[in-house]
């Protein structure tokens, strides 16, 4: 819309310039020159206003982009925290899950009500004596590794390296 108006005004200015060349007896050349100057000033004002409108639109778009980036970062942080929790739960149960098959039914070879099965029940502590220390070791190694990665990322950020890796 503004471009059409500018084009129209430009044609009007050209028309006025043509009128200066073929000056009629009603207007003097100085009056036409003054009209041309006013029209040029008017066109310059319109062009400046259009430039400001474009800058405002660009600023609003950048603000929306920034808001979206913040929302994405927050969602990513929540997802990362959830995955961190899932990893800890997995690490906590993984050693016991790995050790369980070794203590299957064939390990004790017993039946309910027989002395061998009762012995298996009384020997259940062996599973926990093996699974709990292994779980603690695995959790400790995972915790140590997590802290090491955090410290390395902190050092990179201090040096200006940023990012992960």
- At 91-115, the pLDDT tens digits run 888 888 888 887 776 665 556 556 5
- Check residues 142 and 5 and name the one with the higher pLDDT: 142
Write the CA distances from 127 to 67, 102, 104, 155, integer angstroms. Answer: 53, 9, 10, 42
pLDDT of residue 165: 45
* Residue 128: predicted pLDDT: 87
Higher pLDDT among residues 22 and 151, named by residue:
151
Backbone Cα Rg of the chain: 41
Residue 146: per-residue pLDDT = 87
pLDDT digits (tens, 9 = 90+) for 66-97: 999 999 999 999 999 899 889 889 988 888 88
- The CB-based long-range contact list for 11-18 (8 Å cut-off, 24+ gap) reads 12/39, 13/39, 13/40, 13/43
Angle at CA of residue 53, ends 50 and 55, nearest 5°:
110
- Distance between CA atoms of residues 158 and 153, nearest Å: 9
């Amino acid at each position: 819309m503004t471009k059409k108006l500018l084009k129209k005004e430009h044609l009007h200015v050209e028309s006025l310039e043509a009128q200066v060349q073929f000056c009629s007896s009603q207007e003097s050349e100085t009056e036409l020159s003054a009209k041309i100057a006013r029209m040029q000033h008017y066109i310059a004002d319109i062009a400046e206003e259009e430039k400001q409108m474009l800058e405002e639109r660009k600023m609003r778009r950048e603000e929306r982009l920034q808001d979206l980036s913040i929302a994405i970062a927050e969602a990513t942080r929540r997802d990362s925290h959830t995955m961190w929790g899932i990893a800890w739960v997995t690490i906590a149960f993984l050693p016991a899950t790995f050790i369980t098959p070794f203590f299957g039914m064939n390990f004790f070879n017993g039946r309910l009500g027989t002395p061998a099965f009762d012995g298996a029940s009384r020997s259940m502590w062996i599973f926990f004596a093996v699974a709990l220390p292994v779980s603690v070791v695995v959790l400790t190694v995972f915790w140590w590794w997590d802290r090491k990665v955090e410290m390395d990322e902190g050092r990179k950020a201090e040096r200006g390296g940023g990012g992960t890796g």
